[in-house]
Amino acid sequence: MNAPIHKEHAELATEFVHNRERAKWHDSSLWFVRQKRDRQTHSIPEWEQLRELAATIKRHTLAKLPQYLEEFERNATRMGAVVHWARDAEEHNRIVLQILQEHGAKKIVKSKSMLTEECHLNPYLERNGIQVVDTDLGEWIVQLRNEPPSHIVMPAIHIKKQEISELFHDKLGTEDGNNDPTYLAGEARTHLRQKFVNADAGITGVNFAIAETGGFVVCTNEGNADLGVSIPDLHIACMGIEKLIPRARDLSVFTRLLGRSATGQPITAYTSHFHGPRPGCKLHIVLVDNGRSKIRASEDFHRSLNCIRCGACMNTCPVYRRSGGHSYSTTVPGPIGSILAPNRDAKSHGDLPFACTLCGSCTDVCPVKIDIHHQLLTWRKELAIQKVVPWTKRVSMSMAAAVLKRPWLYALGGKVARVGLRWMPRWMIYNGLNKWGKQRDLPPPPAKSFREQFRSRSKS
């Protein structure tokens, strides 16, 4: 196996959990969001029906993607937008730069867009003499720190307010030691207002693009996307080709699911519907493939393209919560990122499908019903076939396969473990071969196995 260009997930996760207090804080921040989500979803009796509808609409769209892409292009053009197509990140960046140059735009405000992160648009534009400011507060914080977002919805979820205070003091000259979030956000507002007013162009992502009308929807809480594209004369919207939905009315399902799943809000503060440019202004839309058609071609993994990037699978994932977004070394981390990334590069991201307990919590919360944990399991098999599995896992997996094929050995193993786990010294259980032993202890083993319990129950 080629060594990946970045450190493996397990190694980065080890570094993350090294600071116990911080890891615990990260874990509980995300669990707090998960609980908010639960409260919201429980207030909607038809929640499961909505998920089913969303899954059906997305499956339908994916099956007829070429047709809907063309329909979207036709209608967006009719509305007055200019539509571009990009095969990959490089082509996307080139197109955006060219549009900016044609308009003589030098100062850009950008709202949150995982696609432009994926394409590394910022460094590309900066190399070409263009100033880009990420205006979502969380994204701006990570931009000032010169690091990528660690979560797709809450980019700065890994950063403590003291660190933000120090950062702002250093970069903006805010009061030393003032950690009050209201104060810090207020300073950011004042500072960024000037950027908005003086921008030459605004770049946004897209949450949903509507084939039937040629419009698209952007959802934010801060109002940064709207402010950024309502002042300058040029708006560039960048989207992956999987963002399409067939009809405007489909939004009645998706707008009910997105905010509730993402942050436990009934809806985002701003759900903006763009159809064509403002009078006298320009709107460009860039449709990007960058590996998506390859995922669509995969029998096993095409369903991962239905993702609406709500982040719920991250908030609920026991591994993500305890290892932090940066440990995944991908733009989209967490469970869904662990399906998407190996599609791009199995060699360097082949460890991610193993950063999973197969607990299935991601699949339970996913608003578009992607069978996330099944796909992660499929990836493990696929990677074993491709022989890009780390040897520690290959050995333990073939041992497991041998045991599972022989019921007597499985039963014996269980017995040994139930007795052994109670009396074995700690180092035998939590050694270097068992990465799961880090930061967690096994519960005490039951006196009887499930099979034994079942037998004695059916006798009584």
Q: Contacts with another protein in 37-66 (CB under 8 A)?
A: 44-46, 49, 53, 56-57, 59-60, 62-66
Which entry of another protein, ligand SF4, none binds 336, CB below 5 to 8 A by partner kind?
A: ligand SF4
Check residue 298 and report its DSSP letter. Answer: -
User: What's the sign of the alpha-carbon dihedral 4, 319, 337, 93?
Assistant: negative
Nearest CA-CA partner of 365 in 343, 388, 336, 328: 336
8 or 71: whose CB is closer to another protein?
Answer: 71
Task: Tell me if 86 contacts another protein by CB under 8 A.
Answer: yes
Token pair 């709107």 in the structure block, residue: 283
Minimal distance, residue 316 CB to ligand SF4, in Å: 8
Binding partner of residue 196 among ligand SF4, another protein, none, CB under 5 to 8 Å per kind?
A: another protein
Going by their DSSP bridges, the two strands 215-220 and 282-288 should be labelled as unpaired
| Least distance to another protein, CB of residue 135, Å | 7
Cβ distance 131 to 106 under 8 Å?
yes
Residue 175 engages another protein in binding (rule: CB under 8 A): no
Residue 151 binds ligand SF4 (CB under 6 A): no
DSSP states along 19-68 = SHHHHHHHHHHHHHHHHHHHHHHHT-TTHHHHHHHHHHHHHHHHHTHHHH
Q: Which of 256, 309, 349, 373 binds another protein (CB under 8 A)?
A: 256
Tell me the one-letter amino acid at 190.
Answer: T
**Distance between CA 270 and CA 451 in Å, rounded?**
54
DSSP helix/strand/coil, 208: strand
Q: Give the 3-state secondary structure of residue 202.
A: strand
Let me know: does 54 contact 44? Beta carbons within 8 Å: no
- Using DSSP, state whether 185 is helix, strand or coil: helix
**Which of another protein, ligand SF4, none sits in contact with 307, Cβ below 5 to 8 A by type?**
ligand SF4
Binding mask 355-394 for ligand SF4 (x = CB under 6 A): ----------xxxx-x-x----------------------
Q: Tokens for 316?
A: 């609920």
CB of 225 to another protein, least distance (A): 9
Report yes or no: 7 and 349 within 8 Å, Cβ to Cβ: no
Binding mask 307-346 for ligand SF4 (x = CB under 6 A): xxxxxxx----------------------x----------
Q: Which of residues 164-203 bind ligand SF4 (CB under 6 A)?
A: none
Kindly identify the residues of this chain, within the stretch 208-247, that bind another protein according to CB under 8 A.
Answer: 210, 213, 215, 221-224, 226-227, 230-231, 241, 246-247
309 binds, among another protein, ligand SF4, none (CB under 5 to 8 A by kind): ligand SF4
- By the rule CB under 6 A, 108 interacts with ligand SF4: no
Footprint (CB under 8 A) of another protein, residues 266-305: 266-278, 287, 289, 293-294, 296-297, 299, 302
HSE of 179, CA atoms in CB hemisphere, 13 A: 6
